[in-house]
């Protein structure tokens, strides 16, 4: 539990914790109330309702530009993450023409229905995309182009050291892994493949994978490789 007693959030000061997640706060006008601690730290409840009705604010409103329609609007200083003007976007979205504009690899062709626009990627793929997704920069291309860029970056990026064999290899020699920091596996592809062969061999002889002799493992891998080559040769002759 984060202790925020004594800290000031806008016009409110946290006094003490009432129960889990709720804090007793005192505003500059003297009014006290129970507020969620998450809302306080995010700046959503930094002023009491009495001050809002009276039009009192500790800091003046901030002028921002809407990320969708480009309109200027006034925003509370306690909402730093707000990017859209709200009702202005809802009212003017049908009058905004995005046809002919380019967003990343997308080129807007025409309006589809409502907020959606028909876009064409550089590779030729056409898809209906929501307008705020384009103007906000949330979509820069189709799935195929994004995967090609990811594969190219993994090929051209610096090398990575395999945790099993200790060799430095190009990053395209590592399989994708969503939970790792760099989105790549800590073992290279060859080590993962050899570990599967080692586990099968250990299961046959009745020992742990770490107890399999290296000479026996190398001979077993050589036999498997020879069998694979022999099978490919037989298939080629059969054709």
Q: For 157-213, where are the alpha helices, taking DSSP H only?
A: 189-205
pLDDT tens for residues 133-189?
787 677 888 877 766 555 545 444 567 788 878 888 877 788 887 667 677 788 888
* Confidence band of 130 (pLDDT split at 50, 70, 90): confident
The mean per-residue pLDDT over the stretch 112-116 comes to 77
Q: What is the pLDDT at residue 119?
A: 92
User: Are the beta carbons of 111 and 99 closer than 8 angstroms?
Assistant: yes
Cα distance between residue 183 and residue 67, in whole Å: 30
* Confidence band of 239 (pLDDT split at 50, 70, 90): low
Cα distance between residue 175 and residue 214, in whole Å: 25
Among residues 4, 62, 52, the alpha carbon closest in space to that of 28 is found at 52
pLDDT tens for residues 16-74?
888 888 888 888 888 888 888 888 877 777 777 777 777 655 566 778 877 666 677 77
Q: What is the pLDDT at residue 78?
A: 65
Q: What is the pLDDT at residue 109?
A: 92
For residue 72, the surrounding DSSP H or E stretch is: strand 72-75
User: Are the beta carbons of 66 and 135 closer than 8 angstroms?
Assistant: no
pLDDT tens for residues 81-91?
676 676 556 55
pLDDT above 70 (res 230): yes
Q: Phi/psi of residue 211, each to 5°?
A: -95, 0
Q: What is the pLDDT at residue 75?
A: 77
The mean per-residue pLDDT over the stretch 113-117 comes to 78
For residue 75, the surrounding DSSP H or E stretch is: strand 72-75
Q: What is the pLDDT at residue 1?
A: 62
Q: What is the pLDDT at residue 218?
A: 83
What are the boundaries of each domain within the chain?
8-54, 62-93, 97-144, 192-238
pLDDT above 80 (res 124): yes
pLDDT above 60 (res 4): yes
């Amino acid at each position: 539990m984060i202790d925020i007693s004594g800290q000031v959030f806008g016009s409110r000061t946290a006094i003490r914790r009432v129960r889990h997640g709720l804090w007793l706060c005192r505003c500059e006008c003297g009014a006290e109330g129970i507020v969620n601690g998450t809302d306080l730290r995010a700046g959503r409840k930094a002023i009491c309702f009495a001050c809002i009705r009276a039009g009192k604010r500790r800091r003046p409103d901030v002028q921002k530009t809407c990320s969708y329609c480009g309109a200027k609007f006034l925003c509370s200083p306690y909402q730093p993450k707000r990017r859209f003007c709200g009702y202005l976007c809802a009212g003017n979205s049908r009058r905004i023409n995005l046809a002919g504009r380019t967003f990343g690899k997308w080129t807007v062709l025409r309006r589809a229905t409502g907020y959606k626009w028909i876009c064409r990627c550089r590779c030729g793929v056409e898809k209906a995309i929501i307008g705020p997704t384009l103007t906000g920069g949330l979509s820069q291309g189709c799935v195929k182009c994004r995967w090609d860029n990811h594969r190219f970056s993994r090929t051209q990026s610096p090398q990575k050291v395999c945790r099993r064999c200790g060799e430095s290899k190009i990053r395209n020699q590592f399989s994708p892994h969503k939970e790792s920091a760099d989105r790549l596996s800590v073992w290279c592809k060859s080590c993962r493949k050899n570990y599967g062969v080692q586990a099968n061999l250990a299961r046959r002889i009745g020992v742990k994978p770490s107890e399999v002799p290296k000479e026996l493992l190398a001979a077993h891998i050589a036999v498997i490789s020879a069998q694979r080559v022999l099978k490919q040769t037989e298939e080629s002759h059969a054709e």
